Amino acid sequence: EAPEIKGLYAEGVAEGEAVELTYYETEDNSREEAELSIKVNPASAAGRLQDEKILCTSEDETVAVVSSRNILFDAEEGAAQILVEAKGAGTTSVTVQIGEYQTKLAVTVYPAFVEAKAGFAGEAAADVTAESRDLKAAYEWNIDQAAAYVTPLHVFEAYVSDTLGEEAETYITVTDGKVTAVNGETGDYRCSINHKVSATDTLSEVKEGDTVTFFKKTDDITTYAFFEKDVYEGEEGQDIIVKLNGIRLDDTNQEEPVADAVISLYQNGEELQDVTYRTAADGSVALNGLKRGSYVLKAQTDGEVNTITTPYAEVVVTEPIMVTAIEIAVKEATIHVGRSEERRV
| pLDDT tens-digit series, residues 226-235 | 999 999 999 9
CB neighbourhood size of 272 (10 A): 13
Q: Looking at residues 134-157, what average pLDDT do you find?
A: 86
Residue 342 CB burial class (10 angstroms; 0-12, 13-18, ≥19): exposed
Q: Kindly indicate the confidence band of residue 338, based on its pLDDT and cuts at 50, 70 and 90.
A: low
Phi, psi of 251 (to 5 degrees): -65, -20
Res 69 pLDDT > 90: no
pTM comes to: 0.82
Cβ-count burial 280-291 (b if 16+ within 10 Å, e if not): eeebebebeebe
Res 191 pLDDT > 90: yes
Tens-place pLDDT, residues 243-276: 999 999 998 889 999 999 999 999 999 999 888 8
Q: Whole-number mean pLDDT of the chain?
A: 89
pLDDT of residue 101: 96
CA–CA–CA angle 30, 34, 37 (5° rounding): 145
Please tell me what DSSP assigns to residue 307. -
Rounded to whole angstroms, how far apart are CA atoms 167 and 101?
53
Phi, psi of 140 (to 5 degrees): 60, 35
Q: What percent of the chain has pLDDT over 70?
A: 89
Res 278 pLDDT > 60: yes
pLDDT of residue 215: 95
H-helix segments, 3-68: none
Q: Looking at residues 12-30, what average pLDDT do you find?
A: 79
Give the lowest-confidence range in 195-199, 303-307, 338-342. Answer: 338-342
Phi, psi of 306 (to 5 degrees): -80, 130
Tens-place pLDDT, residues 111-125: 999 999 999 999 999
Phi, psi of 152 (to 5 degrees): -55, -30
Q: CB of 292 within 8 A of CB of 316?
A: no
Name the helix (H) or strand (E) containing 153.
helix 152-158
Q: What percent of the chain has pLDDT over 90?
A: 74
User: Which contacts (CB < 8 Å, 24+ apart) does range 176-184 have?
Assistant: 176/142, 176/143, 176/144, 176/201, 177/142, 177/143, 177/144, 177/153, 177/201, 177/202, 177/203, 179/153, 179/214, 182/216
pLDDT of residue 64: 95
Cβ-count burial 59-91 (b if 16+ within 10 Å, e if not): ebeebbbbebeeeebebeeebbebebbbbebbe
Q: Kindly indicate the confidence band of residue 30, based on its pLDDT and cuts at 50, 70 and 90.
A: very low
